[in-house]
Chains A and B, each alone.
Chain A
């Protein structure tokens, strides 16, 4: 069964600090991996999309990495801001399929 596991479930960091969120997946065959940010009460917003051949992609202070061999991805947030407080969801797309497998998300809280 295709699965996406994220860790930690929740994280509290001080404003200005960096953090890294983890994502492990078992989706096969693999097509792409996406990271989304979901603010409370809002729909997810796309941060990055990586295909098999890409091992890193940045979007401002967000940098995602992908190791397709170990089926792991990470999302690094640099110089966190209060507005980074949200859930971060890892999503994996399988090759030849329209369906995506969503992780449960990591809830990040950035405190002053």
Chain B
């Protein structure tokens, strides 16, 4: 089925470990983004990309890196995990950032201990 695929669905990390959250879409969308969702807060933008080779920071980029080598993939890297990064992470893609609906992945629930 067409859509946004995120892996893994669940992950437990120890403080200081690094990992990559994977995101892939098969809709040929130019715009992709990463959000985190914390209890009692709205989704917050971490990083986004408007096309292959182009990325930019969102509202809460510290501690995260991204790259966009292909249209389909937009991985999110945690460089040195901290308990404050415990959250649910969503990847989203869109035909165009400003006026089109976003398709969200099913999320990755990350716990940092």
Contact = CB atoms under 8 A, between A and B. Distances in A.
A49 B42 contact: no
Nearest to A104: B42
A32 B42 contact: no
B34 interface: no
B108 to A, nearest CB: 10
Nearest to B99: A32
B74 interface: no
B53 interface: no
Contact of B48 (A4, A32, A98): A98
Interface residues of B, number: 28
B47 to A, nearest CB: 11
A44 B90 contact: yes
Interface string A1-32: 00010000000000000000000000000011
9 contacts: A4-B42, A32-B99, A41-B107, A49-B99, A98-B56, A99-B48, A99-B58, A99-B59, A102-B43
Given A34-B102, A43-B92, A98-B48, 16 more contacts: A43-B104, A43-B107, A44-B43, A46-B102, A49-B100, A49-B101, A89-B43, A93-B98, A93-B99, A98-B56, A99-B45, A99-B58, A99-B59, A100-B45, A102-B42, A102-B44
Interface of B: 4, 31, 33, 35, 40-45, 48, 50, 56, 58-59, 90, 92, 97-107
